[in-house]
Amino acid sequence: MPILGIMASSTSGASAVGNFDSIASASGTGSSGTITFSSIPTTFTHLQIRGIGRTTATGAADTTLRMRVNGYTSAYPLHRILGNGTAASAYGATTEVYFQDVVDVATNSATSNVMGAFIIDILDYANTNKFKTFRALSGTDNNGGGTIIFGSGLYSQTTAITSITLEANGQNWTTTSNFALYGIK
């Protein structure tokens, strides 16, 4: 039963090997707010980023992860559906200069040891004939507060994606934050 185009990789047999590959992983340092995956090979069909995140911010218990690809600093059109435990809401923007407000992570104002979790899919990332679509599922629960988000976004360029940065919204990633990039054939 292929799901997201990835479950087929887990079927048994020799063909299963290498269909969902780990490309790179990184952890937060506590003193840097940027994780960069660079020199991404174009040999896969899709990319998936999976991780847990917590920033050094204080104030709200959760915040947004901000993503850029290829160092692109112009607009990333995006949409989200968000639940905060009391109400559901929808949001869209066309001028955000990051893929932001659609991937939720924890902050240092959350209870100790609480992490946000996220999965970002970047579809057909190496195709040079069309723009690239992102989609994400993310959330943070803080036992009494929390956010869950479905998000999508667009990189309005036909250039293959060869680098990705994941930023802690102006703060730093804690040492408990982990990020992993996978390629799907």
Partner 1 sequence: MAKTYEPIATNTLGSAAASVTFSSIPATYTDLVLVQVSKITTGAGTGTLQINGDTASNYSNTFLTGNGSTATSTRNSSTVIFTGDASNSDLQTSIYNFQNYSNTTTFKTVILRSNVTGSSLSAVVGLYRSTAAITSILISQNASTTFIAGSTFTLYGIKSA
From residue 90 to residue 129, the character string flagging contacts with partner 1 as x (rule: CB under 8 A) and all else as - is x--------------------x-xxxxxxx----------
Round to whole Å and give the CA distance between 94 and 106: 25
Round to whole Å and give the CA distance between 22 and 48: 9
> Quick one: 157 or 176, whose CB is closer to partner 1?
176
Q: Which phi and psi angles does 180 have, rounded to 5°?
A: -135, 135
148 is an interface residue for partner 1 by CB under 8 A: yes
Beta strands of 84-171 (E only): which ranges?
Answer: 88-93, 104-107, 116-123, 132-141, 146-155, 164-167
From the CB of residue 56, how many other CB atoms can be counted at a distance below 10 Å? Answer: 17
Cα 45-79-44 angle, rounded to 5 deg = 5
Least Cβ distance, residue 99 to partner 1 (angstroms) = 18
51 is an interface residue for partner 1 by CB under 8 A: yes
Contact stretch for partner 1 (CB under 8 A) within 13-21, 38-46, 64-72, 94-102? 13-21
Site residues for partner 1 per CB under 8 A: 1, 3, 6-7, 9-10, 12, 16-25, 50-52, 81-88, 90, 111, 113-119, 137-150, 176, 178, 180, 182
